[in-house]
């Protein structure tokens, strides 16, 4: 496995880099899981609002993938190599799948609201500690929370 030369890493101590990298890994797992669930809902939605929600879920999933990419790239910039593989997502624990088969549009909206709210809260909970260690990474998380909260508002308004 390749190693990184610490002379080319940001001026954070090894402990701080490791802790921030670990918290970024947690965030990556949450965002990848959110994107996977969003795609499953995209495929499973039925009901009178099928078309607009089907299209909106594609937009949301794309944004969650972009967020995950930013998180992973920040981790690498710090010398921490993230793992977004299926095994890493599953082994992270508390991931609950959505039901297989058709899901009514109203239930899809509730599921998206619930999952985006949970993800936002989990990211928000680690922002303060990360801010003590690395303001650049905290800024990234603040931007993620702002975008997720806007998505939450727009989705919640449809209920």
**Phi, psi (degrees; rounded to nearest 5) at 90:** -65, -45
- Which pLDDT value is given to residue 2? 46
The domain segmentation of the chain, as residue ranges, is 13-92+100-156
Q: In which residue are the tokens 């099928």 written? A: 50
Pick the CATH number of 13-92+100-156 from 1.10.1740.10, 1.20.1260.10, 3.40.50.920, 1.20.140.10: 1.20.1260.10
**pTM here?**
0.91
- Which pLDDT value is given to residue 5? 54
- Which pLDDT value is given to residue 16? 83
Over its length of 159 residues, how does the chain's per-residue pLDDT go in tens digits? 444 555 565 566 677 889 999 999 999 999 999 999 999 999 999 999 999 999 999 999 999 999 999 999 999 999 999 999 999 988 887 778 898 999 999 999 999 999 999 999 999 999 999 999 999 999 999 999 999 999 999 999 999
Give Cβ neighbours of residue 98 (< 8 Å, ≥ 6 apart): 37, 40, 41, 44, 111
């Amino acid at each position: 496995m390749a190693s990184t030369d610490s002379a080319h890493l940001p001026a954070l101590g090894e402990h701080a880099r490791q802790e921030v990298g670990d918290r970024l890994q947690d965030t990556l797992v949450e965002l990848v899981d959110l994107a996977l669930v969003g795609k499953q809902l995209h495929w499973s939605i039925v009901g009178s609002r099928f078309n607009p929600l089907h299209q909106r879920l594609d937009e949301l999933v794309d944004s969650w993938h972009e967020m995950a990419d930013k998180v992973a790239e920040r981790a690498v910039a710090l010398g921490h190599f993230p793992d977004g593989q299926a095994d890493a997502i599953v082994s992270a624990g508390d991931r609950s799948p959505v039901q297989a088969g058709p899901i009514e549009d109203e239930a899809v909206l509730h599921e998206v609201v619930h999952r985006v709210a949970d993800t936002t809260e989990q990211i928000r909970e680690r922002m303060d500690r990360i801010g003590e260690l690395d303001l650049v990474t905290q800024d990234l998380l603040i931007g993620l929370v702002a975008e997720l909260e806007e998505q939450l508002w727009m989705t919640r308004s449809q209920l």
